[in-house]
Amino acid sequence: MAQIRAPVIVLLVLLAVGLFAAEVSAAKQGFPRGCCTSYSQGRMDIRLILGFSIQTVKDGCNIDAIIFHTGRGRFPCMDPTKGWVMKAVHKLRERAERLNKKRS
């Protein structure tokens, strides 16, 4: 029985270390944990947005949202049904494609 416990304990310790490392990585990036619960109001200037994340109800959240990442470390949650939000996402993807082509 003691022979079985040692591998199980090692596995649990490795799992705990892995989860802790993921939490530390997210904290270093400044990205908030949890789900958006409401949408930010108003529009944003595309020049202020550095990137975005996608939140879905399939992730266990209550609402679908586009989370913009700004240079000031803010993460406003936007409604993906708004035309300007999806237009901004499209422009960000185009920007990323251009950067990728320059590196190729």
The domain that contains 98 carries what CATH number?
Answer: 2.40.50.40
Asked whether residue 72 falls in the same domain as residue 22, the answer is no
Query: What's the first-to-final CA gap in the chain, in angstroms?
Result: 56
pLDDT tens-digit map of 8-36: 565 555 554 454 444 444 444 555 568 99
Asked whether residue 39 falls in the same domain as residue 19, the answer is no
Q: Which domain holds residue 39?
A: 34-103
Q: How many domains does the chain have?
A: 2
Using a cut of 0.85, tell me whether the model's pTM lies above it.
no
Average pLDDT over residues 97-101: 88
Confidence of residue 100 (pLDDT cuts 50, 70, 90): confident
Asked whether residue 11 falls in the same domain as residue 39, the answer is no
Torsion-angle region of 34 (φ positive above 0: left; ψ -120 to 50: alpha; else: beta): left
Q: What is the DSSP letter of 78?
A: E
Q: What kind and span of H or E run contains 44? A: none
Asked whether residue 44 falls in the same domain as residue 90, the answer is yes
Q: What kind and span of H or E run contains 87? A: helix 83-103
**Which residues does residue 65 pair with via DSSP β-bridges, in sequence order?**
55
Asked whether residue 42 falls in the same domain as residue 24, the answer is no
Asked whether residue 88 falls in the same domain as residue 51, the answer is yes
